[in-house]
A and B are shown apart, each in its own frame.
Chain A
Amino acid sequence: MTQACHRKCVPPYYKEAELSKGESVCLDRCVAKYLEVHERMGKKLTELSLQDEELLKRMQQGTGTA
């Protein structure tokens, strides 16, 4: 996350060490988006993997009885 937001928000050439207002605002937004995307992706993936598991169980039951 640090690397991604640094690449997006902080330009490669700079003259002072302090974060300017624009950069701090950009970093706030970047971190918030990253965490939200992370959370949503995690939920979606667990949901899909649960579907996967159910399908697998049904298939195994199908091949077991057949």
Chain B
Amino acid sequence: MGSYESELNLKATELRLGLPGSDEPEKRSCSVRSNKRSSRESSVEESRCKSNVNSDDSTTTSDHDQESVQPAKVQVVGWPPIRSYRKNSLQQKKVEGDGSGIYVKVSMAGAPYLRKIDLKVYKSYPELLMALQTLFKCTFGEYSEREGYNGSEYAPTYEDKDGDWMLVGDVPWNMFVSSCKRLRIIKGSEAKGLGCL
């Protein structure tokens, strides 16, 4: 389709987003940084540069002039104009594509303390569930799409980006990791309400 063609030409007609004289925007030198903290930010930015150049259909919605063709999505220094201080504060909560871990709080009904775990450490649901069961000395039992964790003493739930409480295991692992904000282990009896469709 035309989209692939125009992608090939992007390099030639590319709108330069870097400082004059810089050849590869991905390797933008970070020598003009003023904020000590930004050393972590710069590595995040560089990894962003290397990651997805937007290639879905939305980039070529129109056949109009080059003004409406999106240039390659490269992270530009100091753009958008948000103070490093603010960016850093938000990044502590955001899920990063790579780099730092994804720490979420885990609470359990009746337990006096919350725990924190790094979701990045686990590669799949079984690993995560095993870790949770060990951490809180509880059991979840078998997960089934239909019955959830029916029959077990406890069940793992999580709060997603929309603020809804979901049963752990329903969505694909990667989707879970990127949308999970917090975990909560509830009593099996409460879990009945979260049983799947």
Q: Do A and B bind each other?
A: no
Interface residues of A (CB under 8 A from B): none
Interface residues of B (CB under 8 A from A): none
